[in-house]
Amino acid sequence: METTLIILKPDAVQRGLIGQIISRLEDKGLQIVGAKMMQISQDLAAKHYKDHAGKPFYEGLVRFMTSSPVVVLAVRGIGAIAICRGLMGATFGSKAAAGTIRGDFGVSNSFNLIHGSDGPEAALREIGLFFQAGEVLEFKRPQDAWVYDFSGPRPE
Ligand code: IDP
Ligand code: MG
């Protein structure tokens, strides 16, 4: 099982899309194992987006991400990182394929509704930034017996 960090960005919250976006993650079979609403501080935004520091869009990105509350989620499943990236769609709303969150709900290249960790290392780092110990939970869902095939040596 993999756990990834998802942020429903300020535009998603302001536009009332929290429920629809979380539904897409849940409908896929992913498990929400951590959730909180918060306003991201300058410092946290800088840490989260440290790899983008110095890029032309960086200042605007930090301004946007700190401008209004977000919803932060820890999302678990087999291959959750790549699955979430697929559900999110390409970075730019203008280019993201129909059927994806960014493709269906937005047109902007910077206000693109959702963040998802881009690899296992980033996921670990980002979950550590946004969640305290004990805030990401471990619990069984009976429905997982129908989400995954547990009949083989490993769940598929
Ligand atoms: P990702 O969110 O799809 O992983 P990144 O390249 O990591 O995309 O960029 C982080 C965020 O920075 C994007 O989600 C978007 O909000 C913003 N961003 C990236 N590139 C641009 C750009 O060229 N113009 C405006 N905003 C951008
Ligand atoms: Mg990224």
Please tell me the distance from the alpha carbon of residue 58 to that of residue 65, in angstroms, as a whole number: 11
SS3 state at 85:
helix
Domain 2-140 coded CATH 3.30.470.10: no
Active site residue 48: no
From 78, 93, 90, select the one nearest 17 (Cα to Cα): 93
Residue 75 token pair: 């999302």
Please tell me the distance from the alpha carbon of residue 54 to that of residue 16, in angstroms, as a whole number: 32
Ligand 1 contacts CB of residue 66 (under 6 A): no
> For ligand 1, atom 9, which residue shows the shortest CA distance?
91
Please list the alpha-helical segments (H only) found in the chain: 10-14, 18-28, 42-48, 58-65, 80-88, 101-105, 120-130, 144-147
Annotated domain spans of the chain: 2-140
Per-residue confidence in pLDDT tens, the chain, 156 aa: 999 999 999 999 999 999 999 999 999 999 999 999 999 999 999 999 999 999 999 999 999 999 999 999 999 999 999 999 999 999 999 999 999 999 999 999 999 999 999 999 999 999 999 999 999 999 999 999 999 999 999 999
Please tell me the distance from the alpha carbon of residue 20 to that of residue 87, in angstroms, as a whole number: 12
CA of 134 to the centre of ligand 1 (A): 30
Report pTM. 0.98
